[in-house]
Each structure stands twice: as C-alpha cells, then as structure tokens.
Structure 1
Amino acid sequence: MKHITFHLDFVSPYVWLAFERLPQALEGLSWHASYRPVLLGALLQRAGNPGPVGIPAKRDWTYRHVSWLGQALGCGLDMPARHPFNPLPLLRLALSCSEDGSINRFVAGAVLRHVWLGGHDALDPARLDALAQTLSQQLRGDETERQERAKALLRSNTDEAAARGVFGVPAFEVDGRVFWGLDSLPMLRAYLQGGDGWFEGSAWDAAPSVPSGLPPAA
C-alpha cells in the first residue's frame, strides 16, 4: 500500500476539487493519505511567485475555471464572499486537531466545505465558531496548548514541504516524488498503478535537466 502526503491550504479552490476527486481518481488502487496543512503564501513567497490572484487576468480566469470545474466534476464550488483571504485561522484550527502535523479526512473535508460551499465569508466569526463546534471532538489538548502547537506545526509543515520540493498546492508526495495540481491526478494514478515505463526509466530525473535558454537573473 502506497502512502500519499497531501499538502494543502484551504485558500486554494484546486485543493477542494482535488480533495473531492482523489478517491475517484485512484479508485481500485491500494493507497492511504495523510493531509498536511501548509501556508501557501509562504511557499509562493519563497519561489518568488505571485500566484494566480496576483495577476488580474489570471485571477479572473482561475475563478471562472474552478467554478466550472466544480459543477463539471459534480462536487460543487461556490466562490467565498471574499478571496483571497488570510487562511491562518482555518489552518490553525485544523492543526488544533493534530498531534503530528497531519489531519484526518473528516477535519480536512469540514474546513474545505466551510470555505468552498455556499458562497459565504470564510472568516465570518459566527461561522468560525460553528466550524470549531463541528470539530470539537477532534481537538487535542487545552486551548492554550492547541494554539501554540498549531502554530508550530504549521511552520514545520511549511518548511518541510518546501524542503521536499513542494512549491504550491494541492501537492501529492509519494516515494519522494511530488505531483502538483488537480491535473496531476492521472499522472499520480499511473505511478501508483505501476507498469508505466516512463516512471521506470530515467525520464523523471531527465525532464527537468534541460538547460534554460534565458539569461541569468540580474
């Protein structure tokens, strides 16, 4: 059985789509997943990447694309009242349910549905209180302990993800290989299924070794 580490940040609509699609995409294969919250903004900053919302035309396209994908895939997706938003309260709440930096599928799903279904404000205080109540049986330790542990886990998760080559979310890590994005799910399936000669040869390592034709950055 293969283990998949699913790196996620609740601010990304593609994380919601990938979360919903993953069981269908890997149906029939032997696998299990752990869900690791990371701070997408920190990963983008390290890479010098403004992200889709940093480019106005790309922001418009992204919101159209994910809204269509939500209905096309049958899982739904309603843009929240404001986006982007600061995901820290949601990330820390989720990690308050963790001892080791991983959260279970129930916790991940509850937070993702809070954000991506209904078109509400993800940071509305009353809704955050209701979400915390939904997760109350999952919380670990007293409130002060949870808060400090969640902050530390988020930092370490993000640092470890970056060290492993994760530059965005959703990202699926298995056997030290990182598959990025919703559209990588067919590739992930091919790897887990085995028998794909592309993975058995040198192509994985050879593909990124192509020299750049651009001049060095000043």
Structure 2
Amino acid sequence: MAQIDYFFTPISPWVYLAGDRLERIAARHGASIRYVALDGPALFPRTGGQVLAERHESRKAYRLQELTRWSKRLGMKLDLQPFFFPVNPAPASYAIIAAQAAGGGDLGALVQAFPRAVWAEGRNIAEDEVVKAILAENGFDPAVADRGMFTAADVYVRNLDEAVARGVFGLPFYIVGEERFWGQDRLELLEDHLAGR
C-alpha cells in the first residue's frame, strides 16, 4: 500500500482549495495518508521563499488572480480578504496533531475544516473555542486540544524540520516514496503516479 505524506498548514488558501480530493484519490488507489501539519510561514525563509507580506506586489496580485480562478473552477466559495488572516496557525495545527494521535474522528475532514473556516466561514482558528468546536464538528473530543498540546507542540517543530530535510518548499506538498508534488494543482499528477500512468 502506498503512503502519501501530506505536508500542509491550516491557514493556506491552497490547502483549502485542495478540499477532499486527496482523500478521494487515496481511497481510489488504496493509499494511506500521513498528515504532517507544520508552520508554513517558517518554512518559506528556510527554503528560499518569502512570506506573503514580503513578496513583490506583482506576485501578490497574481496570487489573487489564481485564487479567484481556482475557486471558480472548483466551485468553492473563497473570501480573498478573510477577516481573520493572517492568523497564528499553531493552535489549529496542535489540535490536528493531537487529534491524529488520539483518534476517534474523521482526520481528513478535520484537516479540511480549519482552512475552510478561514477562507470560507470567517472564523478565527487561533481562538480556543473555535478550535474545540471544529474538533467536535469532526467527531473528536474537544479536550484533545488541551491534553495533547505539549506533545503536539514538539511534533509541530519536528514536522518543520522533516519538511525541510525532505525537500518541501511550499504548501500543500505531497510525497509518495521519492516522488514529490507541490500544490493542489498537482493532485491529478499524484493520482497518475499512484495509478502507474
């Protein structure tokens, strides 16, 4: 069985636009998914990139055009200027890591729920009440956010180090064996790889 290592941050609009396509691809090909939540803003300077605020205006303008195109193509509501963005990704990431360790809910749905909360629902995923509500909405005990916080914080740091060591430079990023795929727009190519095409 193939394993897909999925590197992501819950504040990325591109992670939001990936929706549940990865989970559907994995199900079609009998693959497992290992979810690796990490600090996206910390990843970019470590791999030659820049955080959004430091990018040239032409790059920022193009990003907005691409987000508009992709949200329209995928039929997904997307607020280009969400009220709670930028937002600290750590609380949501810790919750995902703790939930993955605890089990009991729908992890794929949880991973999708946090970026949707930012980009389509106007929710602040750095707030404790919002994090716990999203955990509950996806079948997890909201208390896992508190119980697993310290361990999750350690894993969060290690996930960033792993990402850098394995050649991850943008998010979302998918690795299957030695094959790497950057961006939600590469999911079809990931599926081709799993299908042996």
Q: Into which bin does the TM-score normalised by the smaller protein fall?
A: 0.7 to 0.9
- Unaligned stretches of 5+ residues in structure 2: none
Contact in 2 for aligned 1:96/1:139 (Cα 8 Å): no
* TM-score calculated relative to the size of structure 2: 0.81
Find 1:118's aligned residue among 113, 118, 121: 121
Within-5 A mapping of 1:88-127? 88-99=90-101, 104-123=107-126, 126-127=129-130
Identity %: 26
Change (3 A) 1:105 1:25: closer
User: Match for residue 215 of structure 1?
Assistant: none
Q: Distance in 2 between matches of 1:58 and 1:21?
A: 26
Residue 105 of structure 1: how far off its partner (Å): 0.6
Q: How does 1:168-207 map to 2 (within 5 A)?
A: 168-195=170-197
Aligned length: 192
Aligned to 1:209: none
| Mapped pair 1:19 → 2:22 | no
Shift of 1:73: 0.5
Secondary structure of 2:29's match? coil
CA distance in 1, matches of 2:148, 2:139: 12
User: Does 1:69 pair with 2:70?
Assistant: yes
Give the aligned CA root-mean-square deviation in angstroms.
2.8
The within-5 A match list for 1:124-135 is 126-134=129-137
- Deviation, structure 1 residue 98: 2.8
CA change 1:78–1:21 in 2 (3 A) is farther
Give TM-score scaled by structure 1 length: 0.74
Aligned with residue 85 of structure 1, among 79, 84, 87: 87
> Alpha-carbon deviation of 1:29?
3.2
Counterpart contact for 1:52–1:62, Cα < 8 Å: no
1:166 is aligned to: 168
Distance, in Å, in 2 between the alignment partners of 1:22 and 1:129 is 24
Residue 165 (structure 1) shift:
1.0
Instruction: Note closer, same or farther for the CA distance 1:177–1:132 as it changes in structure 2 (3 Å cut).
Output: same
Deviation at 1:25, TM superposition (A): 5.9
> CA offset at residue 181 of structure 1?
0.9
Q: Could you say what secondary structure the match of 1:85 adopts?
A: coil
Q: What's the offset of the Cα at 1:194?
A: 1.0
